[in-house]
Amino acid sequence: MKLIDNISKLLKIEKSELLKKFELPENASKIDFLNKLGVYSVFDSKEELTEYISKKTKNIQQKFEEFEKQKVLFEAEKENLKSLNEILNSNFQKAINSEIKKIDFVKKIEFKDLDFEDLDFENLNSSILNQAQKNGWKIKEKPQNLEIQNDSNQENVFYFKNGGVTKY
């Protein structure tokens, strides 16, 4: 083994004597010798060290490249979801604004004025009306024509919600 040979030359003692001082057998490996020294790792040559570092960094580089690919995919997915969210928000706002316009409030009520947690999307109109009642939003009254035929004198009568009556 090159390590033990080099150390024995530096100390100017025989290899067998060095192994004896370290209480190692003749066929001891480099790892056995390093364990006696309490050393984690020693490389016999610069090439071995370079190869070791290269293997370690190669694995890390591969993982880094995989993470970069995943990052690109996640960014693309994030943009897709953001775009979809904007479309859904726009459609959501249009649907709610359409219902608000159907109600015809006295004061202009906007999308942002609503409490979305209280909205019932299966019955949006009545849900908005309930919020209007809670918040004191007034609704313009439109005359509702109720046509009633009076069978006795064959007249048509319109009753308006505000109390007016007209005959024709």
- CB neighbour burial string for 41-50, b if at least 16 within 10 angstroms, e if fewer: eeeeeeeeee
How many CB atoms within 10 Å of residue 92?
13
Q: What is the pLDDT of residue 157?
A: 54
Placement of tokens 């309490």 in the chain: 38
Using one digit for the tens of pLDDT, what is the confidence trace for 56-79? Answer: 888 898 999 999 999 999 999 999
| Residue 114 dihedral angles phi and psi, to the nearest 5° | -85, 150
Residue 165 has pLDDT above 50, yes or no: no
Q: What angle do CA 128, 132, 145 make, to 5 degrees?
A: 85
pLDDT tens-digit readout, 7-56: 889 999 998 898 898 898 888 888 888 888 888 777 778 898 899 889 88
The percentage of residues in the chain with a pLDDT greater than 90, rounded to a whole number, is 21
Greatest CA separation found in the chain?
139
For the chain, what percentages of helix, strand and coil (3-state, to nearest 5) are there? 60, 10, 30
